[in-house]
Chains A and B, each alone.
Chain A
Amino acid sequence: MTIFKEEKGYLSLILHAHLPFVRHPEEKDFLEERWLFEAITETYIPLLNYFEGLYRDKVEYRLTMSLTPPLISMLTDSLLQERYINHIDNLIELAHKELERTASQPQFNRNANMYLERFKQSKDIFVNYYNKNLVNGFKKFQDLGYLELITCGATHGYLPLMQEYPEAVRAQIEVAIKTHKKHLGRKPRGIWLPECAYYPGLEKILKEYDLRFFIVDTHGILHANPRPKYGVFAPIYTETGVAAFGREQESSKQVWSSQEGYPGDYNYREYYCDIGFELPLDYIQPYIHQDGIRIDTGMKYYKITGEDCEKEPYNYQVAREKAALHAGDFMKNRIEQIENLTSLIDRKPLIISPYDAELFGHWWYEGPDFLNFLIRKVAYDQDIIKLISPIDYLEKYPKNQICQPPMCSWGAKGYNDVWLDGSNDWIYRHLHQAVEKMIKLATEINEPDGLTRRALNQAARELLLAQSSDWAFIMKTGTMVEYAVNRTTAHIHHFFNLFNQIKGGNIDQERLTELEQNNNIFPEIDYQIYSEFYSPKIKGQGEEIEIIS
């Protein structure tokens, strides 16, 4: 007879899966499209494979993932799906060549073989198992009850820096929810605010869309008013009843930190040694960018090894064992935390551990193994903690303290510093101007003819694409700045062109068609979401908004 001991607390792992919308039909080999392809091979497919294994083995768990609308849009786009197949075919060819080239170097040869098998498997899973649409995979495990899939801003727009235009915030939320529902079959119950960026008043809009919870960084809870009784170990309710859950520090640090965290272990794969940079150009040329720009291929043969030393060959088996040890260590630490909290808290505490999904696999190659081990260990090796989703916690504990979180984000320094900085502050004048114009158009034009409607809808798409927080972030970090600047200026430029054409009644149909084909995100968008009369109707700005029913 199995004796069930009741758990003493909960752990909520949250993976935020996001990439900005990058799709360039006008070029054959567009460098930045590889962000998606790499994430598919290294993160999304490995995660789905482990979900499949957990399902097969009937392992009980709950995991929360945000799939952002741009990511969903790219994963379901037929052009990018075909391009991924080309990409993975190319890698399979490279891996075959590598197998030959390294024939006399067993340690490298073993790795080349590992990559070949993985690439072949990726293609098989992608094409044959999920019919090129990985969203189907995530949906499968959602429908089976393992994944709680939540949404994000429509284009990951940084909401505190558009709060003066609540119609723009509303559009980010509504378009996200519609995209989510279309592809995942149900409305999301929670939202990952882009960059965990919250401002007081936002919850009023979230409530209108039946969103039950969002995540903030630790200080979003600790600095809330009145002081939250349970700290970050339980959610708080905003006045509207939408719950805020706070990121727990210690568990985050163990995984995130490249120095102190697990991913820095010397046995793990070294990200920065890639054959795309190491092998002679004439050999590697067909597998890097067509213009001869050296890039990561994903084939990396070395382990981190140590600091300032010669790198040694990577051994996946050893690394995998390390991932199992780290999963055990992570679990042990969470159990200790929960045990310590039990005497301090008069309810079962919850530890919220959010991470970027792409950290697992792409950056920390063994990350998906770690997650798989962790989920299995939590299920079988102990009975103190249980994996749940924030929504499950709200069902167990529907009564929570009402507190007002301050404006906050999870960026460096905890507020808007990263996205409002000398490197990127110039964008807001243009973004705000475009929003004002969009609201004006949507409010003034009720029954446009077919062509004008298309132009209005495309204007809304261009505006949303310009708002991606990714561009401001890239400008701040200083790598690939040109691309981010160009994406921002291009979308704003397209927007104002469309605005002028709509106002002037001289829409360039050919150009419009081209924009619709290139920037084809949100095909069903309705520009009316920007109208002042659109429901839920909002009065006021920023913190002071009122929803008019």
Chain B
Amino acid sequence: MNIKEVAQKYDLTADTLRYYEKVGLIPKVNRNEVGYRDFTEEDTNWVEFAKCMRNAGMSIEALSEYVALFQKGDSTIAQRKKILLDQQAIMAEKLKDMQATYDRLTKKVDNYDNHIAKFEEEKLENIEHA
């Protein structure tokens, strides 16, 4: 697949793919005989992984380190697992914060519901007394 097709498939731009490759978020992509990038299935799997991890907030530094270690082979399995565990911990913390914010919002919405119900009740009473 060429760079445009991959960009379209993953809803990215060709610039973003070049950027991913340049900063090491995906391994170097092979070129065809005229010099254009030719993505294999494995390359596109990396693109999908990079996009997913970046959307989840993984840093460029952590992700490029992970990719570099992956390319070094099985001797780096423990280091790679450590990177993923660190990211998992960061995400867990974010989820906790998000959950707390969500709970607070829910409370606020409930509060508004109570206020609105009370207001409607009072309005009805006023109409009845009038």
A joins B in a complex: no
